[in-house]
Amino acid sequence: MDLVITIDGPAGAGKTTTARGVAAALGYRYLDTGALYRGLALAALRAGAGDAGSPAALAAVRAVRMEPYWEGDGMGIRLDGEDVTGAIRAEEVTRLVSPLSAIPAVREILLPVQRKEGEHGRLVADGRDTGSVIFPDARLKVFLTADLEERARRRSLELAASGIVRNHAEVRREIEERDRRDSSRSLAPLIFPEGGVEVDTTGMTIREQIDAIVALARERGA
């Protein structure tokens, strides 16, 4: 059966790597919805809009032509034809994306973009509201968590791998702040989706996370 699988959860739980691995194991397409929000945040930054709520930010996200693309088992982003897959991971983007994603007009732009990818099933989508709002009828809705300390440790390692050395306590504080924002916004907040399954990954390896979700998907007919 051709399933849609959603994987939501707080920052640093390993959603992206896990979702990509699950998609590869099942031969499904992988949709990184955070990357779409990041693409719009980069467009706003490039237009000089440092404040997510400014008219310049909204004008920029409305004007830009954003296209996700797939290569191997990963997903990339193009803005007006330019490949920005690496650029959307910059720290300025990470800071702007959370407040920007709380703006209704921004979520409206991305709703049809995401739904279109799920039309034919065989999709693993990761984000904050993919199970609660975007694909409420998904056959498997995973809520991926890990305790804050572990998520901060993973994020520090990820940053270190790209050559950025940061104070661990500061990374932890930023993750906590982003979770608070993403969970407390009024529109499509990060919540446990109805009918969802929690997978707590504290102490699990990425391989174990992937295998656990693939097993759940198989139980549901994937």
| Per CB under 6 A, 127 contacts ligand DC | yes
Contact with ligand DC (CB under 6 A) among 34, 68, 76, 193: 34
| Per CB under 6 A, 117 contacts ligand DC | no
Return the number of the residue (110 or 214) whose C-beta is nearest ligand DC. 110
Strand order in the sheet with 74-79: 66-71, 74-79, 82-83
CA of 57: how far to CAs of 104, 181, 185, in Å?
13, 19, 19
Return the number of the residue (34 or 196) whose C-beta is nearest ligand DC. 34
Q: Which of residues 133-172 bind ligand DC (CB under 6 A)?
A: none
Smallest distance, ligand DC to C-beta of residue 109, A: 12
Return the number of the residue (180 or 218) whose C-beta is nearest ligand DC. 180
| Per CB under 6 A, 101 contacts ligand DC | yes
Q: How many residues form the binding site for ligand DC (CB under 6 A)? A: 14
Contact with ligand DC (CB under 6 A) among 4, 5, 38, 216: 38
Return the number of the residue (38 or 139) whose C-beta is nearest ligand DC. 38
Return the number of the residue (73 or 158) whose C-beta is nearest ligand DC. 158
CA of 145: how far to CAs of 26, 179, 202, in Å?
22, 12, 8
Smallest distance, ligand DC to C-beta of residue 218, A: 25
Q: Which residues lie near ligand DC (CB under 6 A)?
A: 11, 33-34, 37-38, 97-98, 101, 127-130, 178, 182
